[in-house]
Structure 1
């Protein structure tokens, strides 16, 4: 596999599939350390979070479609709020996230996370605010000053944003400035106010794309030029080499070959023979090379049809009869 393919694969999200699940823990309590003890396998049974912090378990094996997490949360810093433990069912093929917070009586939040990249080359952001529900958070574009996103403090939905630089405000107070990159999936954690200042941190759940989508332009230009030349030439060949009574039929057969090719692509893509999309592309390239060899063999032995000569021969036959 070449260097470019490896560079692209490095940014692919690790998604849970059948038989596995994932756990993430985010702490939104600044200046407070917590130790999470659980029944996770190996060294993951004890996790320490320091202030606003983040932990990811990676893939966890499930049994009968789920994993029952049993956990306790110990406070390590005096004067910090207590956070209760409990049990949580982690379903297979799903990423689960626990958010620790201190505001009001609800001290924790469980939600199902989505780590897949945006298919529009944008960024996905979830804002996790540890503050009163009535406060509003504003995402403002730095360059234009326009408001891109305005939400309440307890709105934990995943939002799609353009890949530019933003300033985040609570009221009139600027608390964070961040450049979002294409393909990144982010969790933005805001802690409660301390001396009117809010602690915040942007966690990168899925690494942004390592290459710009603009690199696709040369490939699409070459493919489009090749398609135009091949399609026009093929239609002209099927028209000129067919007898008058079969010209329309053979042109339709030529177009039907394009449909067969699309069916092959759909079957290979949907059945997912390969985990790596790069290997899938190598398969398509191999099929095209094989098709080229077959085409060369037919072209070598093909005898061209001369319509003028054929018409002249038909006239001679008519005169003889």
Structure 2
């Protein structure tokens, strides 16, 4: 996910250079839109089963995603700056500000529509002999993209188009290099106010001034990288967090990945709210009166959202199973008798009674040991005097599970394949894990039947561990015959179904507590991060356009988008290196990083010199910052 997003926000630099130096914004948007549309067509083709084998599908999908990533690189920096070119500044400065809000509103409107429409096309439509229709889900965006290109071309007669002013990036690089070389050679002889002024012997003053603005903006943009590291985790870390929560909202099941639609929906609400209410109120309170102040508040809100997310994660982790680590081991025993069973081991310091058809877990036992364990029937009118002794092997850092089962007049202590931490940890897909156990020795089938069904083969006291769809009712059937009452499986729960000796009833044992926090508890952090996005992202687009020299509008916009790409790099580094193992602490780490860089950003903003456009359309510097 983050690699693809990184590609989408790295390629805008190339698109910005093409637009400002070679093709112009209109032609750049047109050509790369065709690449983008073709990428959607290739991606749709990759989901057609009849087109080759699995490797063919994988390569088609990769090629399609690369084409989409490259196509979006040309579109992102050029569309916003091309739209900004349609306004005359400073006469239409207010209209220009509203344009960027409307532009961002339309992006999120498209996102909301796609989030609802695409899953419906994929899941509710059958095509090409399959119950699901991925080709249609990917194909509709391809058709709409082609249609948008046609509409874009049809309006070309009414656009204001500015011609590219040569290879401005190379001119900036050469100007910078010459200034550095000249400064080294002549700084003792001739002092200049700014080090770039040393290039005025061969480069025009306008290019030098434009390069100064470019350098100031790049320095100002640097701390904003961390904001995107936080923002982009809505599609990864926050979705993983949602997998650990209960999506049942008054009978309607919200899937974890559907929470990503909350952000664009809130954007549609917040954009007019901020423009019409929030910003005017904050301006009257003298809290927010300039773009840089909006960026500062947006960054602080992003940090706050991760404090809230981290606090929620800590609450979620309270329901996590206790798993051993290091040299510590754990032991779980299952009692398949209709009588209490007393278990005793002097070596392990165990003396406990397990209730009928129940289970018990012993924590903090020494790993890497083998110990004797004695089991005997207690306080029961049946199976009187039954005892048994077995050897318990405990592995370091693992959980060992044993079944107490009848064997004639004795009690057998049988090892189960449930012996690892993975068997009790919650499903990464928010599903319910289920295993069947049985005290007898015969083999049979157990089926959990409902909207989705699965058949377990029980052999040697047990079945495999299987992940079932959650938030659903299931009937339990033994060899096709329904037994007992139906059961409800909750997300994240780990269950063992113990079939009784008669095979006419069962017990549902909860091994790991299901997800007990409702998914709606994520709403506060989404509200905060969306408010941060409104103040940060929209303002950043407007700021990068209005502060950029005329010859660098697309290039500066592309560098603003490039910060998003580097933000994804930060996520990959932090997540890949496992600097912090605990998810809650990792979220607090990101919050601290955001707060620290925003302090740096405030310092840079206080010393920033705004650029304004005069009546002649020329860029002028304002000596005092409006921060």
With the length of structure 2 as denominator, give the TM-score of the two structures. Answer: 0.42
CA distance 1:172–1:110, change in 2 (3 Å): closer
Q: Is structure 2 residue 525 aligned with structure 1 residue 219?
A: yes
1:86 to 369, 380, 391: 391
Shift of 1:92: 2.5
TM-superposition CA deviations, 1:222-272 (whole Å, max 9, x none): 535643663343234334323355444433432332233333334444555
Determine whether 1:122 maps to 2:427: no
Query: Is the Cα–Cα contact under 8 Å of residues 27 and 101 in structure 1 kept in the other structure?
Result: yes
Structure whose residues are more often helix by fraction: 2
SS at match of 1:60: strand
1:75 to 2:376 alignment = yes
Select the structure of larger CA radius of gyration: 2
In structure 1, distance between residues paired with 2:556 and 2:346: 69
SS at match of 1:92: coil
Q: Is the partner of 1:302 in helix, strand or coil?
A: coil
Q: Which residue of 2 aligns with 1:318?
A: none
Say what the alpha-carbon RMSD is for the aligned residues.
Answer: 3.5
Bigger proportion of residues as strand: 1
Q: Per chain length, whose mean CA-contact separation is higher, i.e. which structure has more relative contact order (CA < 8 Å, sep 6+)?
A: 2
Supply the distance in 1 between the matched residues of 2:475 and 2:407 (Cα, whole angstroms).
Answer: 24
- 2:475–2:485 Cα contact (<8 Å) kept: yes
Counterpart Cα distance in 1 of 2:477 and 2:592: 53
User: Do the aligned partners of residues 103 and 270 (structure 1) sit closer, same or farther apart at CA in structure 2, a change above 3 Å counting?
Assistant: farther
Aligned residues: 299
User: Bigger shift: 232-241 or 203-212?
Assistant: 232-241
Shift of the 244–73 alpha-carbon distance from structure 1 to 2, 3 Å rule, reads: same
Aligned to 1:158: 465
SS at match of 1:203: strand
Superposed CA offset, 1:50-88 (max 9, x none): 3322121223344xxxx1221233333645765441242
Deviation at 1:117, TM superposition (A): 1.0
Which of 142, 148, 153 matches 2:453?
Answer: 148
Q: TM-score, normalised by structure 1?
A: 0.76
Aligned match for 2:365, one of 60, 63, 67: 60
Structure 2 residue 513 is matched with structure 1 residue 207: yes
List aligned pairs for 1:1-321, cutoff 5 A.
7-31=315-339, 33-37=341-345, 39-40=347-348, 43-44=349-350, 46-62=351-367, 67-76=368-377, 78=383, 83-88=388-393, 90-102=394-406, 108-111=414-417, 112-113=419-420, 114-141=423-450, 146=451, 148-154=453-459, 155-161=462-468, 162-170=470-478, 171-193=480-502, 197-198=504-505, 200-217=506-523, 219-220=525-526, 223-224=529-530, 226-227=532-533, 230-274=536-580, 276-306=582-612, 312=618
Please tell me whether the aligned partners of residues 19 and 92 of structure 1 are also in contact (alpha carbons under 8 angstroms).
yes
User: Hey, what's the Cα distance between the residues in 2 that align with 1:182 and 1:98?
Assistant: 26
